[in-house]
């Protein structure tokens, strides 16, 4: 584990890097992030084994984690994401697909990642992703948004879900919208001025009515239904 000095105490977004197999990529991400006035790299995790343990940087608000091929495939880091998010729901996770093939972004979002980048990401994508997820908004690199719409939205027949949506009340629709873009129950509760328990119940009820089990299903449905605009991601 490489530390980067003391924790940010000036309001900057603390970013922890877990980019294992590409040192130059990690160095590039560090340079991009540290060049911004509102964010800073607070440390680097050296390998997958370290990632599986608890994060030692309480100052880290955002974790950028590389997908790593192994005997179990690219899902191993995603299981680590699930564990980290369960231990610290406030932690925001950006999955970085540096070498895996296939539609890893859907698995990443399903595992609880708040954002997704790939090797085509530019400086502006990285900075926007960090700011978006730290602000409670989901982020998918624009090039993948188009593919996600083509693959998961336009080809999906959800007429029955549309009918269910029409029956939802105004507050349930707002819960759906906020949940789809990655807001936690606590954040939704604050926005709607209700209790977390109320949000939890409404969110579960909406997911059940729509027949969804994962946030990625809710996200792609919300885009197709027009509840969420691509620009909001």
104, 172: one domain: no
Structural domain harbouring 18: 2-145
28, 110: one domain: yes
Q: What is the CA angle 211-196-182, rounded to 5?
A: 55
CA distances from 84 to 36, 62, 99, 113, 126 (A): 26, 12, 22, 10, 21
**DSSP structure class, residue 231:** G
Number of structural domains (the chain) is 2
CA distances from 206 to 80, 120, 216, 223 (A): 27, 35, 14, 16
Q: Which of 77-91, 111-125, 150-164, 177-191 is predicted with the least confidence, judged by mean pLDDT?
A: 150-164
What pLDDT digit, counting tens, does each position of 186-206 carry?
889 999 999 999 999 999 999
Cα–Cα distance between 19 and 169 in angstroms, integer?
43
Write down the pTM of the prediction: 0.64
9, 98: one domain: yes
111, 220: one domain: no
What pLDDT digit, counting tens, does each position of 62-101 carry?
999 887 655 444 555 667 777 777 777 888 999 888 665 4
21, 110: one domain: yes
15, 43: one domain: yes
Copy the structure tokens of residue 46.
């050296």
């Amino acid at each position: 584990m490489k530390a980067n000095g003391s924790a940010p105490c000036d309001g900057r977004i603390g970013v922890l890097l877990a980019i294992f197999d590409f040192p130059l990529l990690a160095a590039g991400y560090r340079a991009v992030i540290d060049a911004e006035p509102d964010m800073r790299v607070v440390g680097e995790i050296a390998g997958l084994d370290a990632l599986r343990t608890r994060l030692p940087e309480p100052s880290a608000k955002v974790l950028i984690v590389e997908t790593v091929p192994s005997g179990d495939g690219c899902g191993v880091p995603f299981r680590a994401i699930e564990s980290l998010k369960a231990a610290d729901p406030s932690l925001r996770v950006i999955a970085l697909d540096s070498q895996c093939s296939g539609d890893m972004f859907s698995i990443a979002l399903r595992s609880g990642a708040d954002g997704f980048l790939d090797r085509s990401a530019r400086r502006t994508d990285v900075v926007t992703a960090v700011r978006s997820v730290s602000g409670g908004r989901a982020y998918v690199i624009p090039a993948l948004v188009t593919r996600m719409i083509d693959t998961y939205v336009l080809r999906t027949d959800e007429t029955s879900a549309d009918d269910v949506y029409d029956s939802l009340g105004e507050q349930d629709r707002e819960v759906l919208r906020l949940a789809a873009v990655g807001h936690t129950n606590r954040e939704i509760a604050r926005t709607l001025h209700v209790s977390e328990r109320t949000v939890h119940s409404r969110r579960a009820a909406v997911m059940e009515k729509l027949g969804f089990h994962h946030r990625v299903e809710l996200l792609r449905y919300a885009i197709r239904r027009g509840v969420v605009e691509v620009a909001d991601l």
